[in-house]
A and B are shown apart, each in its own frame.
Chain A
Amino acid sequence: MKTFQGRTVSPGNVCAEALVSHGGLNTLASFQKALQFGDKKATCGDQNNPDLYGKQMAGKALCLPQTIGSTTGGLVLYCACAMHRQPACMLFSQPIDSLAGAGAVLADVWLEDVSMPVIDSLGDEFLDYVKDGMKITVTPEGTVTVE
C-alpha cells in the first residue's frame, strides 16, 4: 500500500478500482462512441491507446498523466458526467491540462447531482506504482491511497 499527495481540483471521497493509462487520454476519441451509442460502461474507443482501448471507464479510478487531443475535450468530459458515464475519479500524475481542467470545473459548477473527484500533480511515481485493478481511495484533501 502506498499513499500519494496531490492537489485537489474537484473535491470528494471515493473508493474505486484503478484503470491506468500511461499515455495521454484522448478524451474525444475515448468517450465519443460510448456517449453516442448509449454504452453505460463508457468503453474506451481510442484505438491509439493500447492501455485503455476496449476497457470500461465508467466507475473506475482513471489514472493518467494528462489528457490530449481536440479542444472539445472539456465539454466531452462534461457530457460524460451529465450522462452519468464518468470515471469514479480522475487522478493525474502531472499538473492538469487546460482541457481536462475545463471539464472538471464545468462539471463541478454546472451539474448538481454528479460527483467526479479530480486530483492532479500526484507525480510520476504514482503512475509507475498503480496498476489496473488496484484499490484506490481518494479524500477531499487530495490524498490518494493505492492498495
Chain B
Amino acid sequence: MNGPFAFTLALGDDALIAAQRLAEWTTRAPEMEEDIALANIALDQLGAARLLLSYAGELEGAGRDEDALAYLRDDREFRNCLLVELPNGDFAVTMAKLLVLAAYQVPLYTALADCPDERLAAIGGKARKESAYHLDHAALWVKRLGDGTEESHRRMQAGVDQIWPYADELFAAWPDAPVDPAILRSDFDDTVTAVFAEATLTVPEVGWTPAGGRDGVHTEHLSYLLAEMQVLHRAHPGARW
C-alpha cells in the first residue's frame, strides 16, 4: 500500500475502533458526569475517524466511502494498533488505554497539522485540540485513581501494567509516512512518565511488545468487535440509512 493511503487508513482505524470501545461505556460509567465525558471523547474519536476514512477512500481512488471502509472490511484489512481493540476492562484499564492513546495522538496530530498534505493538516489541526482534552481527562483520572484509595491504586497499577506493552507498537518507524511516529516517542514518554509520577504509579518494565495491527494481524478481540459493529450494515447490502 502507498504511504499516505495506508497511513491515513491506520489513523482512521485507530480512531474508529477507539470510538467503538469508548461508546461501550455509555450507560455504564462510574458516575453520570463520566458517562457524558466518555461519550464526548467517543464522539471526537468518531468524528476524526470519519474525516480520516473519507480521505483515505479518496486517496485510494477505488470509490470506497467512510462506510464502505468501516463496515465492509474484515479484521485482516483493518490497520489499527492493538491498543485500541483491547477490551475496556475496568475503569482503570480504560483510563490507562485512553492516556496512552491521547499521549500518542496529541503529538501525532500536532505534527500532522504542519505536514504538507493540506487535508491531513486540517484534520490534525482540528483533532489535536480534542486530543488535548482527552489527555487532560485521562491524566486527571489516572492521578485520582493512582493516588486515591488503596483499592484504586492497586487497580490503576494493574491497568497500567496490562496496557503498557501495547504502547510500543504506536511508535514503530514508518519513514515514508507524512509523519513518522518514531519521532513522537520522547514527547510521549515525557508526558506519560510525569503523569505516572504524580499518580504514584510505577512505570512497568517492558519485556514484551506485541504488535501486528498495522499489518492486519490483530488480537482475537477485533473480529468480535467488528462482528457486532458491522452486523446490521452487512445484513442489508446496498441499503441507505
Do A and B actually bind?
A: no
Q: Which B residues lie at the A interface, using CB under 8 A?
A: none
Q: Which A residues lie at the B interface, using CB under 8 A?
A: none
